[in-house]
Structure 1
């Protein structure tokens, strides 16, 4: 179950025991399936030396019953293997911290890169708006009509008017 020695040294003692139990369950279930399949094949053989009809009939019923029991054992071992697969998936999901950390680091890097790009675009927009605002302010202030200074003659014409 453990891929390399450095990884197995990093695993805790309880995790190593759990992996060993998974491995032994796997080997046991496969052995049970193999043994029962071999017994079904053995019981399917026809012996030509049997002479009595009653004994053949009893042996046939016994063989059929034995095949059903062996087939049920194979099914039970298969269900146990499915449960083992489910347990292994749960184990990987809960205990595979290095790959989870790697995935999180990759996602953080991607988000940081996106954030830096957005910040750079915002800075460029700010600079463009600043330049445009300066141009607009210059245009506005240059377009305002400058009032001429008020003179004495203008004061008298306003009062006469």
Structure 2
């Protein structure tokens, strides 16, 4: 029976390791391509090829690097989505506990805010009563 319960745990661990590996690879790809784009911005030195050819090569390389950055970014977004789906599908109890805790916290806040609002209403009513008495106590109604 312990063997049956360890199989899902190993599967979960393998999936989480896969997520970690993919995360490291995508972040490394973004970093590498960004560094290469920054290197291309540095000052050029005269070489054997013409400036026009050099510019075309840099433009093409920048397009490739930008495409790689975009691809790695999209892969990270997909990874985040996969992790969310995994969390939603396989972690109902934690979600339920979190929702219950959050609901209790909001209920406590609601009681606190209701008490504050009732205090404010009472203070406003008292002030309004004082202003009415002062207004009607004055013979002309104006100061």
TM range (shorter): 0.5 to 0.7
After TM superposition, the runs of 4+ consecutive aligned structure 1 residues lying more than 3 A away are 100-104
Aligned to 1:129: none
Q: 1:31 to 1:98 in 2, by over 3 A?
A: same
Q: Distance in 1 between matches of 2:96 and 2:56?
A: 60
Where 1:12 maps in the other structure, the secondary structure is helix
Instruction: Give structure 2 stretches of 5+ with no counterpart.
Output: 1-5, 105-143
TM-score, normalised by the number of residues in structure 1:
0.53
Higher gyration radius (CA): 1
State yes or no: 1:29 paired with 2:23: no
Other-structure match for 1:67: 62
Correspondence 1:15 to 2:16: no
Paired residue for 1:41, among 34, 38, 41?
Answer: 38
Q: CA 1:100–1:38 in structure 2 vs 1: closer, same or farther (change >3 Å)?
A: closer
1:3-34 deviations in Å (ceiling 9; x for gaps): xxxxxx9x700100000000110110000000
Q: CA deviation at 1:41?
A: 0.8
Provide the TM-score with structure 2 as the length reference.
Answer: 0.59
Over 3 Å counting, the alpha-carbon distance change for 1:58 and 1:103 in structure 2 is closer
Q: Which ranges in structure 1 are unaligned for 5 or more consecutive residues?
A: 1-8, 111-161
Task: Call closer, same or farther: CA 1:51–1:19 in 2, change over 3 Å.
Answer: closer
Contact 1:37 1:74 in 2 (8 A): yes
Aligned residues: 96
Once the two structures are superposed, residues 75-120 of structure 1 have per-residue CA deviations (whole angstroms, 9 ceiling, x without a partner) of: 000000010010000011012144145369x59xx9xxxxxxxxxx
Partner SS state of residue 50, structure 1: coil
Q: Secondary structure of 1:22's partner?
A: helix
1:50 to 25, 29, 46: 46
RMSD of the TM alignment (CA)?
Answer: 2.5
